[in-house]
Amino acid sequence: MELHQIRYFLAVCDHGSFTRAAQFSYISQPSLTQAIKKLEDEFGGELFTRDRSGCLLTPLGRMVEPNLRKIYKDTLATKAEAIRFTQLNSVPLRIGMMETVGAQRLGPVFAHYRQAFPHIEFELIIGTEADLLKQLEADLLDLVISAPTQLLAPPYQSTLLYTERYVVAFHSSHRFNRLSRIDLKDIQAEPYLDRLNCELREKLKAVCQDQEINLYASYRSNSEDWIINLIRADLGVALMPEYTLPLNAQDVQCRYLANPEISRQIYAVCLPQSRKKADIKTLLASLSNF
């Protein structure tokens, strides 16, 4: 049994016909058919039944499919790991970062890790949680750092990194700078900057509804940078995760939201095959212990 035979078999499974599988695999249909036939000879039975609409897995095909998928995926992962080992300077660790996760807490961790392992390179991909998880499944990312509203089910493996509270962020000249405590009701009298990508946005709406609080959004944006720059222009106040704010920014101040307190948990998410990699293990240890 050869790897290309497994690849062609999986292509037929995924595309439902020998013709489409051959097109997807960039080979002729007779070559793909011959490879499948050799695989069937090794297994001692037919793997597909064909009709006018395409082809279906036989009971034998259904039995071997999960193992063949695992063999193929593990082989590709091993190959990638070998390439990374021999070409460390050109194959970076690929980290997906949810767009609302700030660099204030994690940036120093990456810097510390890089000092300990100077041959390691990082590739940081920013995106939505859904898009990043798809890339993780496709083996385009090694790790995803996100703030899921509920813990992800297997096969995802999640490691809690830290908990961060939400703060009220405002310009340093704002009246809030004289307060030691800010409640949600205090914000409704102010122009509100609405973060469209906030994963707790619906929860916040529910809290406002329960407390009969109306936050008037003078600006809305799906960019954390834009929200911060609007604060710097003194155009409103925003509710943000504490580590999203720039460190030591003199023109941006904040206070923890006192009533109600809102927090979120940041997790490192990977798949079992990624977690076995030596560099991912050490990175997870650094992220968890920093």
pLDDT at 86: 66
Give which of 71, 2, 72 is closest to 34, Cα–Cα.
Answer: 2
- Fold topology of 3-86: Arc Repressor Mutant, subunit A (1.10.10)
Confidence of residue 36 (pLDDT cuts 50, 70, 90): very high
Across 86-99, average pLDDT: 75
The amino acid at 12: V
Mean per-residue pLDDT for 32-46? 92
Q: Quick one: pLDDT at residue 175?
A: 95
User: 288: closest CA among 154, 166, 145, 152?
Assistant: 145
Rounded to whole angstroms, the Cα distance separating 211 from 131 reads 34
| pTM as predicted | 0.66
User: Which comes out higher in pLDDT, residue 271 or 89?
Assistant: 271
Residue-wise over 124-154: b if at least 16 C-beta within 10 A, else e? eeebbbeebbeebeeeebbbbbbbbeeeeee
- Which residues make Cβ contacts (< 8 Å) with residue 118, sequence separation at least 6? none
Q: 144 is written with which tokens? A: 């995803």
For 43-73, what is each residue's pLDDT tens digit? 999 999 987 777 889 999 999 999 998 888 8
Reported as a single tens digit per residue, the pLDDT across 185-203 is 999 989 999 999 888 888 8
The answer to whether domain 93-162+266-289 and domain 163-264 are alike in fold is yes
Interval 93-104: pLDDT, tens? 899 999 999 888
What are the tokens at 237? 């106040």
Averaged confidence pLDDT in the chain: 88
Residue 89 has pLDDT above 60, yes or no: no
Q: 126-161: per-residue pLDDT in tens?
A: 998 999 999 998 888 999 999 998 888 989 999 999
For the chain, give every domain's residue range: 3-86, 93-162+266-289, 163-264
Can you tell me the distance from the alpha carbon of 236 to that of 217, in angstroms, rounded to the nearest whole number?
9
pLDDT at 80 over 90: no
Residue 261 has phi, psi (to 5 degrees) of -75, 135
Domain covering 163-264: architecture = 3-Layer(aba) Sandwich (3.40)
Q: pLDDT value at position 42?
A: 92
The values of phi and psi at residue 60, to 5°, are -65, -40
**Residue 158 tokens, joined:** 């999640």
Contacts of 225 (CB under 8 A, 6+ apart): none
Per the model's pLDDT, the better-predicted residue between 100 and 80 turns out to be: 100
Check residue 230 and give its pLDDT. Answer: 95
pLDDT: which is higher, 113 or 276: 113
CATH number 3.40.190.10 given to 93-162+266-289: yes
Q: How far is it, in rounded angstroms, from Cα 235 to Cα 247?
A: 20
pLDDT tens-digit profile of 193-248? 999 988 888 888 888 888 888 888 889 999 999 999 999 999 999 999 999 988 87
